[in-house]
């Protein structure tokens, strides 16, 4: 088998670090970046916290009020609202540097990416770790951000390795060190293994990756289903063959069509819209994304444009929900429509990664 060299790059405490870059006086303080809910007060959750705040137990996902309690003794603790536009801008700058150092660049989310660098480092691990160090230096010099990088022959091990030593880590796992690296680790380091599977393993008295290796593939398949069972069986052995696939950062998926005839008839338009939704949904699903905002777009017969969109309560990847909302928007848009429509489009924005264990093998 030809051997590849894959990087996983993950920015450290990303939102909170962006805030530190903007306001360097925050660096010495505990910082929590919060999604305040519209109920007001301290209701809402912490999106992320810097490492000073984490020492006190403030971290992603906990209620803001808990974080405040845990940080009570730190009078200098700072709680800031999220500013996604600013984080996106920071991310774009850093990703530009990263992209220029990759043979194949795969964007995963605002704060992480996979790179295949096999060609440019001539499949040599020493060259690879030099390259990684250069990327880290360059992102630090130009954007003032720190990141952690994992290097190995595949995406799975590199992802685990980037998380191994944080912040500002660089972890290289050469092919002959894979077993030694993985075996002592807790099984939850494997992407897709959540609290639920961890608990099941723990009931069988299995804690580390080494422990899981005692299970044969039939037992795992019986316990987790064939797809997930096989994934886990391979993962604990460091086997994961999905290649790094070219993928750019994206803020929307959309599809627009010219109608067979200009029209303002709801029935005719909604049939076309339903089909468009299906096409957009296929692409979104293939890219493992969820969306939170849905929009429709008209090019009218006089070539003027009209659009309408709405924000959902929660991110979704459900086709039905997309179609339902899009046709609802269509109905509203047609309410006082005088001119006919020539082209019809649908788009989804506010994208996020699909997370959780709904399909473990779709994790990457």
Contacts with ligand DGT by CB under 6 A lie at 10-15, 35, 45, 47-48, 60-61, 111, 166-167
Distance CA 231, CA 186 (A): 17
The residue among 14 and 364 lying less far from ligand DGT, judged by its C-beta, is: 14
The residue among 164 and 266 lying less far from ligand DGT, judged by its C-beta, is: 164
Q: Contact 112/6 with Cβ under 8 angstroms?
A: no
Q: Contact 311/352 with Cβ under 8 angstroms?
A: no
The residue among 169 and 345 lying less far from ligand DGT, judged by its C-beta, is: 169
Scanning 111-119, 170-178, 308-316, 331-339 for contacts with Ca ion by CB under 5 A, the matching segment is 111-119
Interacting positions 4-33 with Ca ion (CB under 5 A) = 10-11, 14
Nearest 5 degrees, angle CA 102-CA 105-CA 111? 110
- To the query of whether residue 92 is one of the catalytic residues in this protein, the response is no
Residue sitting closest to ligand DGT (CB): 48
The residue among 55 and 227 lying less far from Ca ion, judged by its C-beta, is: 55
The sign of the CA dihedral 29, 34, 36, 41 is negative
Distance CA 275, CA 29 (A): 52
Nearest 5 degrees, angle CA 284-CA 287-CA 288? 90
What is the nearest approach in angstroms of ligand DGT to the Cβ of residue 150?
12
What is the nearest approach in angstroms of Ca ion to the Cβ of residue 104?
19
Does 106 interact with Ca ion (rule: CB under 5 A)? no
Total length of the chain: 364
What is the nearest approach in angstroms of Ca ion to the Cβ of residue 364?
13
As separate numbers, helices (DSSP H) first and strands (DSSP E) second, the chain gives 13, 13
Scanning 3-11, 124-132, 184-192, 250-258 for contacts with Ca ion by CB under 5 A, the matching segment is 3-11
Q: Contact 94/143 with Cβ under 8 angstroms?
A: yes
Choose the catalytic residue: 73, 89, 112, 198. 112
Neighbours of 170 (CB within 10 A): 19
The residue among 51 and 266 lying less far from ligand DGT, judged by its C-beta, is: 51
Tokens 């599809």, located at residue: 255
Catalogue the active-site residues.
112
Return residues touching Ca ion (CB under 5 A): 10-11, 14, 111-112
């Amino acid at each position: 088998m030809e051997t590849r060299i894959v990087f996983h790059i993950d920015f450290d405490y990303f939102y909170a670090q962006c805030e530190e870059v903007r306001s360097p006086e925050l660096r010495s303080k505990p910082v929590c970046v919060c999604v305040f809910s519209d109920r007001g007060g301290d209701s809402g959750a912490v999106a992320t916290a810097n490492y000073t705040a984490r020492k006190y137990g403030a971290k992603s996902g906990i209620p803001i009020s808990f974080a405040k309690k845990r940080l009570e003794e730190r009078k200098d603790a700072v709680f800031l609202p999220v500013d996604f536009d600013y984080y996106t801008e920071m991310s774009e700058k850093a990703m530009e540097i990263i992209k220029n150092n990759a043979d194949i660049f795969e964007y995963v989310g605002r704060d992480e990416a996979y790179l295949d660098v096999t060609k440019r480092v001539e499949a040599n691990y020493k060259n690879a770790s030099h390259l990684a160090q250069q990327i880290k230096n360059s992102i630090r010099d130009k954007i003032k951000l720190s990141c952690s990088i994992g290097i190995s022959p595949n995406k799975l091990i590199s992802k685990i390795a980037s998380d191994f030593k944080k912040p500002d880590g660089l972890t290289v796992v050469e092919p002959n060190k894979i077993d030694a690296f993985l075996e002592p680790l807790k099984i939850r380091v494997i992407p897709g293994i959540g609290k639920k599977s961890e608990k099941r393993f723990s009931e069988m008295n299995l804690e580390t990756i080494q422990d899981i290796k005692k299970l044969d593939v039939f037992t795992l398949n019986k316990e987790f289903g064939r797809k997930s069972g096989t994934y886990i069986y391979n993962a604990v052995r460091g086997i994961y063959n999905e290649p790094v696939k070219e993928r750019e950062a994206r803020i929307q998926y959309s599809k627009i069509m010219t109608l067979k005839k200009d029209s303002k008839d709801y029935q005719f338009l909604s049939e076309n819209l339903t089909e468009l939704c299906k096409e957009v949904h296929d692409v979104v699903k293939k890219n493992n994304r969820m969306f939170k905002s849905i929009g429709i777009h008209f090019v009218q017969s006089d070539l003027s444009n009209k659009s309408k969109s709405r924000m959902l309560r929660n991110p979704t990847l459900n086709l039905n929900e997309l179609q339902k909302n899009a046709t609802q928007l269509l109905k509203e848009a047609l309410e006082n429509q005088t001119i006919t429509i020539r082209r019809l489009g649908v788009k989804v924005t506010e994208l996020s990664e699909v997370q959780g264990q709904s399909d473990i093998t779709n994790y990457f």
